[in-house]
A = this chain, B = another copy of it.
């Protein structure tokens, strides 16, 4: 071919890309965004990636090889061929000692790694340089493959590697609050991914991409259906569909679990009761478990929400939570399954203070649960508020494995349109010291099992995933899925490091991009707390959908459903007295914690109104009155929302157009709604405090009646 023709062909290719349009940058790729690295990095990486040598055969090893092929093709801009043996320098060798004689011969001491752990090491084999990705288990190899790709995605050298890692928690689960009609409770990302109508026949390729994304961060289980559960999921027609998903997820190390409706023996089994001590009920569950395991041999187990918010449970039959959990545990035990029993209880009778209820119900049951039961406890004692102190059960059940439930979807943090990176919030609770066994008894040490030597450990994240093209409803909510997975793998990781890692993988490695984005993310959670519920305020959202402010709501049937119950603002002051002079729920914490939280002087300001009813004119440490400080905080949140918008606008030249525009539009919504929150909340609180706005702080744009009249009946996620 003459040179001219070659150049012409080159130009044509550049222009037309052979008629294959480039994939739009719409966020579908998530953090598995394998765009080609800069030429200088290509040169650095090339010698260490000349071939992919998979030794041994299994679906999981094949998935690891396929991911490396796909990832390296994108990142390095060329195909890295698969090979049976390493015949030159630069091979990437993957396998286990069982599958690979080569790895067996390297004496890597893989037995030190626990389940799912892996090791990536630069070695020399028969005089040839190579990189091994080795593990005692196939799934560890897959995790290692994703790690190697992440190293390249974040522009770290790969020529002298010696990286080893083991997940610190055993069960790293997503909880999908997905209904059988594909609606998603508290879902802001479209419909459920699970297209039950078309399963089991239609195996949407998206199911595989879901599994890839989860495996890349070490998530190893998914509860497929809502905790407000429908017994039909346990009928044969649906179990066949569940099994189809399990088959797709299996190579990626993801086991399926189901939320079990406690009265399923009545709802679909034809029994007259669901009493956990009734032999017929016990037999029904055993048979049901056997049926499930015949279809899904690695079925993970059941998640149960019982006697809470109207769900049936053992108390309906005069039994307690341990009776209920143990019956189910007995049914799945022969198959190696577990039962996750939620501690989020919320009885039909009004408690004195819901913040103490779970503690009071569960603490006395410590030691009564079968070994394959884990009690699943939300991060805080109320319900996924923008900020909560840690749940007092952590540290209080030394004989019962506790796993932590976090809400990745942002029910109370602005849905999908508000940018709020939850890493710092989760880090805060994991770092909190329970003082259960003296100083340093952090929540992280409770849930990683090291404090009480738990037989099982785990974390559950309420998923923010739906069929929106970007998966999470917004580009930045992908970071919460990512951060949740990373913290479930290792609760000691720093939120900032995770944010930086995610930013590099998702947006790019240009420091002029990474720094501002990480900065936005790290300040974003506090901004939402400030413009929604500063200083320990909580549960002030509008009724039902929880979209927008509703601090004035006082007409719901139960006292503890009403925002006024939680803020208790009056002419004199504001805040929920949870000290000895009030509900005394502070006493559920260890003494060192209780005395700090219970002291008006020593309580951290961010929890002030969570634990104390405080006069409007009370002077805070900074010198301002509480009333003035509230105005300052609300206003600061709005300013921060504006600042994020400006930061993002300046990044336009460095971000692909479609994703940039989407985030810009969402930040505009956030700024509007931050103002709405501030103005509506302050208009209402001022009607009680009767105090003026400090100079230089604008009063609300409208009067209180205006805000009270706003109705948004079609807000999503209900």
Interface set, chain A 1-57, CB cutoff 8 A to B: 3, 6-7, 9-24, 29, 34-37
- Which of A190-198, A210-218, A532-540 forms contacts with chain B? A190-198
Separation of A496 and B9 alpha carbons in the complex (Å) = 39
Given A19-B36, A202-B669, also A77-B12 (CB < 8 A): yes
Nearest-CB residue, chain B, relative to A1: B7
Separation of A6 and B714 alpha carbons in the complex (Å) = 58
Encoded as 1 (CB less than 8 Å from any B CB) or 0, chain A from 509 to 549 comes to 00000000000000000000000000000000000000000
Within 8 Å CB of A198, what residues of B?
417, 665-666, 669
Separation of A9 and B7 alpha carbons in the complex (Å) = 10
Asked if B21 contacts A190 (CB within 8 A), the reply is no
Q: Does A201 contact B (CB under 8 A)?
A: yes
Nearest-CB residue, chain B, relative to A35: B19
Count residues on chain A whose CB falls below 8 Å from chain B CBs: 61
Q: Does A716 contact B (CB under 8 A)?
A: yes
Within 8 Å CB of A36, what residues of B?
16, 18-20
Q: Does A87 contact B (CB under 8 A)?
A: no
Asked if B658 contacts A16 (CB within 8 A), the reply is no
Chain B nearest CB from A509 CB (Å) reads 13
Within 8 Å CB of A180, what residues of B?
713-714
Within 8 Å CB of A665, what residues of B?
198, 201-203
Which has the most chain B C-beta neighbours within 10 Å: A13, A16, A75, A232? A16
Q: Does A103 contact B (CB under 8 A)?
A: no
Given A467-B467, A713-B232, also A669-B73 (CB < 8 A): no
Chain B nearest CB from A598 CB (Å) reads 41
Nearest-CB residue, chain B, relative to A73: B16
Nearest-CB residue, chain B, relative to A468: B467
Given A469-B469, A665-B203, also A35-B20 (CB < 8 A): yes
Interface set, chain A 99-157, CB cutoff 8 A to B: none
Nearest-CB residue, chain B, relative to A415: B197
Q: Does A601 contact B (CB under 8 A)?
A: no
Asked if A16 contacts B76 (CB within 8 A), the reply is yes
Separation of A467 and B415 alpha carbons in the complex (Å) = 19
Asked if A14 contacts B15 (CB within 8 A), the reply is no
Given A669-B202, A715-B197, also A13-B16 (CB < 8 A): no
Separation of A74 and B196 alpha carbons in the complex (Å) = 37
Separation of A132 and B631 alpha carbons in the complex (Å) = 64
Given A467-B467, A668-B201, also A75-B34 (CB < 8 A): no
Separation of A468 and B191 alpha carbons in the complex (Å) = 10
Within 8 Å CB of A417, what residues of B?
197-198, 202
Q: Does A78 contact B (CB under 8 A)?
A: yes
Q: Does A162 contact B (CB under 8 A)?
A: no
Q: Does A270 contact B (CB under 8 A)?
A: no
- From B11, B78, B202, give the contact of A12 (CB < 8 A): B78
Separation of A334 and B673 alpha carbons in the complex (Å) = 38
Q: Does A282 contact B (CB under 8 A)?
A: no
Given A3-B6, A7-B6, A15-B73, also A197-B658 (CB < 8 A): no
Encoded as 1 (CB less than 8 Å from any B CB) or 0, chain A from 478 to 508 comes to 0000000000000000000000000000000
Q: Does A98 contact B (CB under 8 A)?
A: no
Chain B nearest CB from A66 CB (Å) reads 14
Within 8 Å CB of A672, what residues of B?
201
Asked if B666 contacts A202 (CB within 8 A), the reply is yes
Which has the most chain B C-beta neighbours within 10 Å: A10, A21, A23? A21
Asked if B12 contacts A10 (CB within 8 A), the reply is no
Q: Does A181 contact B (CB under 8 A)?
A: yes
Which has the most chain B C-beta neighbours within 10 Å: A35, A201, A415, A467? A201
- Interface pairs A-B: 5 shortest CB-CB: A19-B36, A16-B77, A202-B665, A20-B22, A19-B35
A to B CB contacts below 8 Å, 6 in the list: A13-B14, A19-B35, A21-B22, A23-B23, A201-B665, A202-B417
Given A15-B78, A196-B714, A197-B715: 18 more A-B contacts, CB < 8 Å: A3-B3, A15-B73, A17-B17, A17-B20, A18-B77, A19-B36, A21-B29, A21-B74, A22-B22, A181-B716, A190-B190, A198-B669, A201-B666, A201-B672, A202-B417, A203-B665, A205-B661, A467-B467
